[in-house]
Amino acid sequence: MSTTSPAPSASRRTWAWVVVACVVVVAVVVAVIWATRPDDDAATPAPTSSTTTVTETTPAQTPTTTESTSAAPTGCAPTDETAPEGADVVEVVDVDGDGREDQGWISGGAGRRFGITTASGATFSTTIESASPEPAAAVVQVIQQDLIPIALVDTGREALLYSLADCAVTPVQNAQGQPYTFDRGFGGAGTGVGCTEVDGVLRLAGLNAVSDDDGETFDVTRTYVDLDADGRHATNGEPEQVATGAPKANAVVTTAQEVSCGELVAGKDGPVEPLS
């Protein structure tokens, strides 16, 4: 029996080596798997260039492009002409639509002229055609719904009507094709001219104040005058009564004996011909 006892010891040693070998194999497999596992950071997709492109072309940038392509009004083109030396120059309303106030002026002497010098550097003018010896005075205003710039030049006997549209001083024509004038009491057709606000805009009107009691009271009529779209032709409306038996100090009577437009009165709120 002593010859068979070593066998179990050899068998146990053999299984021990098998176990060790298995452990080694498992360890190697685990090491390989761990070494070849994808890195977390590498697996995370990086932002692409398309994301940046979308951000740069968002609609929020559109107003900047629109503003850069919008052109502000520039007014009349500059000219070489200037107001004559010694002319009375007064700041007036914006004539050429660039949002800046312009200048109106009247020069004296035999060739007296009325003109406009814009903030943009343009000067345009015309000769005052009148035989009246009295110094001329002007008002400049914008009238009607289409905002036509005009000038009224008071010569004492009459008031001349000029259009200031299209960077020029142009005599407005009446229905007969003659220069439009407002009577100042010498022709029996009127005593003055004014502008009445209607629906938020100024309307030009000829005025006539007539007295039957030596100037104690007056009846006043008003005739609207409408300019066409280019501001070069005028058409009279129907006369309408605006006051009856009004005292001579009444504002409606005073206005009917002046040359004015809105709050502006010739001789006070515009250029006046300088005395020689």
Given pLDDT bands bounded at 50, 70 and 90, which one contains residue 67? very low
Predicted confidence (pLDDT) per residue in 105-153, tens digit = 999 988 999 999 999 999 999 999 998 889 999 999 999 999 999 999 9
Mean of per-residue pLDDT scores for the chain: 83
pLDDT > 90 in the chain, percent: 69
Given pLDDT bands bounded at 50, 70 and 90, which one contains residue 72? low
Residue 55: pLDDT over 60: no
Give the residue-averaged pLDDT of 230-234.
Answer: 95
Given pLDDT bands bounded at 50, 70 and 90, which one contains residue 23? low
The pLDDT value given to residue 74: 83
- Which pTM value belongs to this model? 0.74
The pLDDT value given to residue 37: 54
Residue type, position 115, single letter:
G
The pLDDT value given to residue 188: 86
Residue 59: pLDDT over 70: no
The pLDDT value given to residue 99: 96
Of 105, 128, 127, which is closest to residue 116 (Cα–Cα)?
105
Predicted confidence (pLDDT) per residue in 240-261, tens digit = 999 999 999 999 999 999 999 9
Given pLDDT bands bounded at 50, 70 and 90, which one contains residue 27? low
Given pLDDT bands bounded at 50, 70 and 90, which one contains residue 73? confident
Buried b (16+ CB within 10 A) or exposed e, 202-228: bbbbbbbbeeeeeeebbbbbbbbbebe
Residue 22, helix vs strand vs coil: helix
Residue 7: pLDDT over 90: no
Lowest mean pLDDT among 53-67, 100-114, 122-136, 218-232: 53-67
Residue 43: pLDDT over 80: no
Q: Please give the backbone phi and psi of residue 113, each rounded to the nearest 5 degrees, phi first.
A: -135, 155
Residue 167, helix vs strand vs coil: helix
Using CB atoms within 10 Å of the CB of residue 201, give its burial: 0 to 12 exposed, 13 to 18 middle, 19+ buried.
middle
